Amino acid sequence: MADVASDLSGAKRRIIERLKRADSTTAPELAAEFGLTDTAIRQHLEALEGAELVERVTAPSAGRGRPPVHWRLAPSASSLFADRHSDLTVELIASIRSALGEEALERVVRTRAERQLATYQSAIDSTATVTDRVHRIAELRCAEGYLAEAVDGPDHVTLVEHHCPIRDAADSCAGLCSAELDLFQKVLGPDVHVAREQHVLDGGQRCAYRVTLR
């Protein structure tokens, strides 16, 4: 996907933008609109399909013969368009702080942490070994975009997060990071101690949490 997505110029980009504006369309319709041959359009569509940016949809036939093949954007194509989720989150944090005060913002952070705690607790076996619990947290964090892994040591396990998908929000609200450290401690239980050894916001390359038995 990366090679095609990084070279979306000319016709391929126009196809992507056209499909963004329609539920689906056919290759002949695109060819007529762009003044290209059916063959050229199909080549572009197949390249985009190989990059998982578009997908085929077989529409019901209106009569005899093969039903027409329609094309539409694949879900992964959404990354090609502007995304201001991060900006919106930062703006909301600033708005809550300005309109309701710091205490209200802290309550919001606590509420989020409580929901995360309930989700994690339902997904982690509290009777499992510490190592298994940390590995399970790593799986959950990976699914949330943290590119996490659990690294086993001789007398500890380290939860490493190589990416922070909420970096901008955490920059605006330090409580988010504090809440996550507390979250890991609560999820893993009172028989362990969790200490943050690396922190992206403190200049680290990643966030890392050392988990040891008490």
**Tens digit of pLDDT per residue, the chain (214 long)?**
445 555 676 889 899 989 988 888 999 999 999 999 999 999 999 999 999 999 998 766 666 667 788 999 998 888 788 777 888 899 999 999 999 999 999 999 999 999 999 999 999 998 999 999 999 999 999 999 999 999 999 999 999 999 999 999 999 998 999 999 999 999 999 999 999 999 999 988 899 999 998 8
- The DSSP annotation for 31-49 comes to HHHHT--HHHHHHHHHHHH
| Pairing outcome for strands 54-58 and 25-26 | unpaired
Tokens 């200490």 locate to 195
Cβ contact 180:169 at 8 Å: no
* Two structure tokens written together for 204: 């680290």
Nearest residue to 2 via CA among 73, 72, 50: 50
Domains, the chain, ordered by start? 2-80 (1.10.10.10), 85-213 (3.30.1380)
Which residues fall within 8 angstroms of residue 54, CB to CB, at 6 or more apart? 15, 16, 19, 45, 48, 71, 72, 73, 74, 77
State the amino acid at position 170 in one-letter form: A
* Two structure tokens written together for 68: 């027409």
For residue 45, the tally of other CB atoms under 10 A from its CB is 23
| pTM: predicted TM-score of the whole model, two decimal places | 0.68
* Strand order through the sheet with 148-152: 148-152, 157-161, 207-213, 192-198
